[in-house]
Chain A
Amino acid sequence: MDKELKDFAAKNKQNLGLVSLDVPLISNLNVWVNIALIKQYHQNLPDDKAELLVLQYLRVYGLEHIANKQTSALTNKERFFAMLIRAAMVMDSIIVIDRPFKIIPDVPDDRFIYNALNIIYDSFKECHIFDYTWFKDRYRMIYVEKG
């Protein structure tokens, strides 16, 4: 699985929005800066506009209150949402979720992931989930259909 993920990531390097525990949030930045960083760096978006954009995204998940939290203070679900929004910040994002149940071990199946993706479906181009085959029973969907 690691090789497949690496190959896929290498092929889509420019638009890759990775959600993975191997690509953690940066610990000395709070949540909004972690997310805004992508737009600020790649599109030179001023920090006030970037902050507003991040707050909009957090609001749709009802997570506005975590904007100024340090990453160590986040719950598993909050961390997953922060990583997902960060991935969606990449232009024409191809979101890749690497072993989601490692990030949110307390979630029984993929409904949580599906709902999370559905809320921001217009912010990314594609989404791919990579996971171990022995977890396939936890997945109902094969792919996320957009729109």
Chain B
Amino acid sequence: MSGKKDIRMIDIIERIGKTSINATRSFRDTLSFAFTIILKMFSKNSYSSATRMVLINQIYFTSVQILPLFIGISIILGSLLIGIVFQIIKTLGLAEYLGRILMGLVVTELSPFVTVLLIALRSSSAINAEIAVMKVNNELNTLDKFNIDVIDYLFLPRVINGVISVVLLSALFSILTLTSGLLFSKLMFGMSLDTYSNVLLNSANFYDIVISLVKCCTFGFFITLIPIRFGLHATNDLTSIPIAVLNGMVDVFIAIVLIEVLSLILSFI
């Protein structure tokens, strides 16, 4: 009886060990891949007319095509959140901290988070599937046979697009949410446009903007890099595509949470 229990215990420990080793390996491989991409990013030789064309197309697909949906969601979600925040501020009598709360919450926390979630849902999954399909169809072999570096041509434009798109769309989300805040400030506190703008401008902190920018860049970098890496895990079977997408997207969400937590810790230091 006790022998059986011991075997089961060993089995569980082995499984935990295996999972931990796999997770550590995956984390190490992602960082090593990120390092390769960063090196390529700063190399002049990585940029050709073909790379630029892919980059422009990617920015169009990620940042421009999503605009109507993104603006709609930003206005609805932004207004809702701002309404709740204003209600809490009024209830707790924190009107004097209005600007600080808005800048700290909307610009550094909400905007990057909502933006990265929307882009991850739409573009990360698309990139993951696209790379997996290219792998299954032998199209990566085509690029190799024509001496085209897949990192330069395929991966780099997608990662740069991720960074640019998250930064731009996050800024747009902030602007739309803060604008909707104008309406609530008028309704709840009777603030005029001038007063509201002054409150925001006086509370704008360079440090907040830098944190927000760094966070957006990190989000954008990893939500495109991880799907690419998992897309490459696909084998020659069509059935490997959904598995690659599923694993990739799970890791994208883990990365988003990790970056969010890390940025919070950093902001407290």
A interface vs B, CB < 8 Å?
Answer: 9, 13-14, 16-18, 22-28, 33, 36-38, 40-42, 44-47, 50, 86, 90
Say if the beta carbon of B32 comes within 8 Å of chain A: no
Question: Chain B: which residue is nearest A86 at the CB level?
Answer: B146
When distances are taken between beta carbons in the complex, the residues of chain B under 8 Å from A24 are 137-139, 142
- CB distance B50 to A37 under 8 Å? yes
B135-151 contact mask (Cβ, 8 Å, vs A): 1 or 0: 00111011101111000
Alpha-carbon gap, A96 to B229, bound state (A): 32
Given the known inter-chain contacts A37-B50, A41-B48, A41-B148, please indicate yes or no for A22 contacting B139, CB distance below 8 A.
no
When distances are taken between beta carbons in the complex, the residues of chain A under 8 Å from B130 are 28
Say if the beta carbon of B196 comes within 8 Å of chain A: no
Given the known inter-chain contacts A28-B130, A40-B50, A47-B53, please indicate yes or no for A14 contacting B139, CB distance below 8 A.
no
Given the known inter-chain contacts A41-B153, A44-B49, please indicate yes or no for A23 contacting B145, CB distance below 8 A.
yes
- CB distance A27 to B145 under 8 Å? no
Say how far B142's CB is from chain A's closest CB, in angstroms.
Answer: 5
Given the known inter-chain contacts A37-B50, A44-B48, A47-B53, please indicate yes or no for A23 contacting B148, CB distance below 8 A.
no
19 extra interface residue pairs, beta carbon distance < 8 Å, beyond A16-B145, A23-B141: A14-B147, A17-B146, A23-B138, A23-B145, A24-B139, A26-B134, A27-B134, A28-B133, A33-B53, A36-B50, A37-B50, A38-B148, A41-B48, A41-B51, A44-B48, A47-B49, A47-B53, A50-B49, A86-B146
Alpha-carbon gap, A38 to B49, bound state (A): 10
Say how far A76's CB is from chain B's closest CB, in angstroms.
Answer: 17
Alpha-carbon gap, A129 to B8, bound state (A): 61
B45-62 contact mask (Cβ, 8 Å, vs A): 1 or 0: 000111101000000000
When distances are taken between beta carbons in the complex, the residues of chain B under 8 Å from A13 are 147
Alpha-carbon gap, A40 to B137, bound state (A): 23
Alpha-carbon gap, A105 to B118, bound state (A): 46
Alpha-carbon gap, A50 to B51, bound state (A): 14
Question: Chain B: which residue is nearest A21 at the CB level?
Answer: B138
- CB distance B53 to A90 under 8 Å? no
With beta carbons under 8 angstroms apart, the residue of B50, B133, B141 that contacts A41 is B50
Interface pairs A-B: 3 shortest CB-CB: A40-B50, A40-B49, A41-B50
When distances are taken between beta carbons in the complex, the residues of chain B under 8 Å from A28 are 130, 133-134
Alpha-carbon gap, A146 to B145, bound state (A): 25
Alpha-carbon gap, A86 to B50, bound state (A): 14
- CB distance B53 to A40 under 8 Å? yes
Alpha-carbon gap, A27 to B138, bound state (A): 10
When distances are taken between beta carbons in the complex, the residues of chain A under 8 Å from B153 are 37, 41
- CB distance B139 to A46 under 8 Å? no
Alpha-carbon gap, A16 to B148, bound state (A): 12
When distances are taken between beta carbons in the complex, the residues of chain B under 8 Å from A38 are 146, 148
